[in-house]
Structure 1
């Protein structure tokens, strides 16, 4: 491992080691609520709609590229198209 440049060392702010990272906690767990609010730290609230299932699905490149080209939210649009298809195609 390369030795650090002594000119760049700051004894008031030493580089973190493995033990430091092991002790670290998320800011949202240790900061007071009013400070979190002032900093814009928000936790996700309860879901308003049913939770979706995470799955793996294989789609043709044309389908994926076409939906991705429509911008953010493309996966929700794929979900909407499939829901619409299910309205007329029941097993």
Structure 2
């Protein structure tokens, strides 16, 4: 970011919501098509991971982007596990 933009953002952060002029911004009344996290990208961390050759072959055969597809598959599995744990009855 440019120094001017950084200064403008800092000035806005110090202002109260009532002091910010939003009259040129239309109020959003319908959020039915909103997508949560559309512009948020999770922090990525580079690691070394050993996977079975047949798994790598499976994802690579679809072409470029195989690492992204592996990440998506892992994300889907983790999400399903988190949902399962939330609905599992607690053991006493």
Shorter-chain TM-score tier? 0.3 to 0.5
TM-score (norm 2): 0.43
- Larger of the two Rg values belongs to structure: 1
TM-score (norm 1): 0.44
